[in-house]
Amino acid sequence: METQIFVIKSLLVQNSIMLISMGVVLFFLGRAFFKKNTKHVLVFLVWLGVVVWFFNSPFFGFSVVTVNKKGIAIDYGMLSFRNVVLPLDTQWKIETSPSGILKTSKLYYIRFGDHQSMKVKGKKDVELLHRIGRAVERIKKGQFS
């Protein structure tokens, strides 16, 4: 059984952003709690909800794809509740999205059902998305090379 891991964007960076964001909010929440400032506790509880929501929202795509006989494992990061293993027969597609102020440049991402990757640009990154798709097709057909 061959397992292939594809890193679209650095999961280390993504997890660091998640942990720093959560740490800052938890620091201020704890500070407000120990100072017994109810208003600030409520404000930072709302911010805590916003941080958790953001990292589980459609604005934040997955960074790592693991393809093997068990399925397609998608990893959004450590604060995400959307990490999942999809069946191999899940449809995939590489899509584009306009970018920039004038919407003249293109960003690319791969979609597995309702799950969208982080957006990338450049030939090297687009080729990585195609390699992910080819790996899924190869494993579906039973070719593990």
Residue 70 has a pLDDT of 92
Nearest CA to 83 out of 115, 50, 58 is that of: 115
- Tally DSSP H helices, then E strands, for the chain: 3, 7
Q: Which CATH class name applies to 4-9+61-141?
A: mainly beta
With H, G, I as helix, E, B as strand and everything else as coil, classify residue 136.
Answer: helix
Euclidean distance between CA atoms 12 and 10, whole angstroms = 5
Strands 64-68 and 71-75: antiparallel
Six-digit token string for 137: 């097709």
Q: What pLDDT digit, counting tens, does each position of 35-61 carry?
A: 999 999 999 999 999 999 998 888 889
Quick check: pTM over 0.85?
Answer: no
